[in-house]
Amino acid sequence: MKLELLQENLTAALNQLHRIIPNKPQLSILSSILLEAKNNSISLSATDLYVGIKTKVAGKVIKPASIAIPGRIFHNSIATLDPGKLELSLKGDTLTITSANNTITIACLAADEFPEFPQLDGKAISLEADSLERIQNMVGFSASVDPTRPVLTALLLQFDQEGLLVVGTDGFRLATLKLSALKNKEGEQTQILIPAKAMNEAARIAVVQDTVKIGLRIAEELKQAEIEIDNTRLYVRLIDGEYPPFNKIIPAQFTTEIELDGKEFESQLKRAQVFARESSNIIRLQIRDGEMRIISASPAFGRQEGVMGVEVIRGKDGEIAFNSRYLLDFISAHKPEKISFYMNESLSPAMFRPTQQQDYKYIVMPFRVNE
């Protein structure tokens, strides 16, 4: 094997791969990066057998071959080199990297020991990178990080005639986003569960690569999804299981609807958070006479109460208590100028939404407060 490429390009590619390389795998080949050079295309792959990334690097192939290179060593040594042209050549199982000032040799493993990537057939769904970013920012944070309920660590993607519906929930709050542009013409409804982490990773790669279009290919049989971001392909294991009945906990109507200023609400919440932190993050919202009181108390340190003017669109006065973290998550994800808040009784799920975003819902379960 012999090839030439730029250090800048190689480092960028390795930066994407190295985070999924497992630390101490039982099978040592898994800590390698597969380098495949053929017909003027150079690709690098890594996998922990649950997630896989394959990415292409620009360069010149002089003599094609494939080899599995120890990942960490490869990444770290290339990263420290100066930018410029690199020459990679292979003799037996030894890779030699030559730069202007350095020569590195690494002992490698045969390429055929490296695990094969599953083959996904079928048509890819095309997605704007913006949409992926919206999914990530607006829904991603609602998913659970608790590995004991794997289903909730996933985002639900539901394609049907009305578009793509994305849902994320951790069992206490739930976010849904409807992307109506993505209609499933065949009319059949498909649902998949993609790990929120993988979506996050895809969104990150898309930002780094400045991608416009993203392809999504799903293989139900293999329980695998492939996200194509320009030259990079992300292989993700779909999560198996039954997603909670999210449709059943989104109220169809609310008795109270108010609008409030996003910035002001955020600063009020942050102030309330100081005391709430001591008492399971509970903050109480009282809506009365066109005002909202934000109250938090800590048994040990005291309490605070803030008031802000709100616009009551309809409904009556009310009181409700939330985990302030859930509200702050929502605000920091959207930075909304205006927030619409909807509620029924103080123990029923309530809804937040940036006033402008009709296609988005953030449902939060309130606290039961005895006072």
Partner 1 sequence: MSSLEWSNNKVKEAWQTACAQLELELSHGVYYTWILPNPLTDVVVCEGRVVATINSPSGFHSTNLRSKLGVHLQRVLSSVIGKPVEINYQIGSPSARKQKQSQSADSSSSSSSNSNNNNNKSMPTVSSARNHTQSPRANDLFSQASIESVEKNQVITRAKNIGLRHDYTFETFAVSSSNEMAHAAATAVSKNPGETYNPLFLYGGVGVGKTHLMHAIGHNILLHQPTAKVIYSTGEEFTNQIVNAIRTKSTINFKERYRTADILLLDDVQFIAGKNSVQEEFFHTFNALTKNNKQIVLTSDRPPHEILLLENRLRSRLEAGLMIDIQQPSFELRTAILLIKSKAANIPIEIEMAKMIAARVDSARKIGGILNSLKSAIELKGQELTMELIEQTLMTEADQKRPKIKTNIQGVIKTVSDHYHLKQQAVKGKSRKKKLTMARHVAMYICKEDLREPYAEIGRWFSGRDHSTVLHAYHKIQEIINEDDSLAQEVSAIRMSLSGM
Q: Which of 344, 350, 351, 352 binds partner 1 (CB under 8 A)?
A: 344
User: Per-residue x/- mask for partner 1, residues 101 to 130, rule CB under 8 A?
Assistant: --------------xxxxx-----------
User: Per-residue x/- mask for partner 1, residues 127 to 146, rule CB under 8 A?
Assistant: -----------------x-x
Q: What is the smallest separation between the CB atom of 145 and partner 1, expressed in angstroms?
A: 9
Give CA–CA dist 203/135, Å, rounded: 9
Span 32-51, contacts to partner 1 by CB under 8 A:
47, 49-50
The secondary structure of 300-359, three-state, reads CCEEEEEEEECEEEECCCEEEEEEHHHHHHHHHHHCCCEEEEEECCCCCCEEEEECCCCC
CA angle, 323 then 328 then 330, to 5°: 105
Residue 215 binds partner 1, judged by CB under 8 A: no
Q: Which of 348, 355, 357, 359 binds partner 1 (CB under 8 A)?
A: 348
Give CA–CA dist 117/134, Å, rounded: 29
- CB atoms near residue 148 (< 10 Å): 7
CA angle, 312 then 313 then 316, to 5°: 60
Block residue for tokens 């942050």: 270
Strand partners, 65: 37
Residue 281 binds partner 1, judged by CB under 8 A: yes
Q: Pick the closer one to partner 1 by CB: 22 or 262.
A: 22
Burial class of residue 316 (count of CB atoms within 10 Å of its CB; 0-12, 13-18, 19+): exposed
Q: Which of 247, 332, 356, 358 binds partner 1 (CB under 8 A)?
A: 247
Block residue for tokens 């006072």: 371
Specify whether the CB–CB gap between 104 and 96 falls below 8 A. Answer: yes
Give CA–CA dist 151/241, Å, rounded: 6
Number of residues interacting with partner 1: please give it, by CB under 8 A.
Answer: 62
Q: Which residues of 30-42 are buried (b: 16+ CB within 10 A; e: fewer)?
A: bbbbbbbbeeeeb
Structure tokens at 130: 């913006």
Residue 253 binds partner 1, judged by CB under 8 A: yes
Residue 80 binds partner 1, judged by CB under 8 A: no
Q: Pick the closer one to partner 1 by CB: 50 or 301.
A: 50
Q: What are phi and psi of 326, to 5 degrees?
A: -65, -35
Which one of 11-19, 275-283, 312-320, 333-341 is the stretch in contact with partner 1 (CB under 8 A)? 275-283
- Please tell me what DSSP assigns to residue 172: S
Residue 300 binds partner 1, judged by CB under 8 A: no
Q: Which of 248, 289, 316, 371 binds partner 1 (CB under 8 A)?
A: 248
Q: What is the smallest separation between the CB atom of 328 and partner 1, expressed in angstroms?
A: 13
Q: What is the smallest separation between the CB atom of 169 and partner 1, expressed in angstroms?
A: 7
Q: Pick the closer one to partner 1 by CB: 99 or 279.
A: 279
Q: Which helix (H) or strand (E) holds 11?
A: helix 7-18
Q: Pick the closer one to partner 1 by CB: 13 or 283.
A: 283
Residue 94 binds partner 1, judged by CB under 8 A: no
Residue 288 binds partner 1, judged by CB under 8 A: no
C-alpha 327, offset from chain centre:
19
Residue 148 binds partner 1, judged by CB under 8 A: yes
Q: Which of 3, 17, 21, 30 binds partner 1 (CB under 8 A)?
A: 30
Which one of 77-85, 129-137, 171-179, 305-313 is the stretch in contact with partner 1 (CB under 8 A)? 171-179
Specify whether the CB–CB gap between 70 and 32 falls below 8 A. Answer: yes
Structure tokens at 125: 């769904």
Q: Which of 349, 350, 354, 360 binds partner 1 (CB under 8 A)?
A: 349
Q: Which of 6, 62, 106, 219 binds partner 1 (CB under 8 A)?
A: 219
Specify whether the CB–CB gap between 78 and 254 falls below 8 A. Answer: no
Q: Pick the closer one to partner 1 by CB: 105 or 189.
A: 189
- Contact residues: partner 1, CB under 8 A: 25-30, 47, 49-50, 52, 115-119, 144, 146, 148-149, 151-152, 169-174, 189, 219, 221-224, 235, 237, 240-245, 247-253, 280-282, 323, 325, 344, 347-349, 363, 365-368
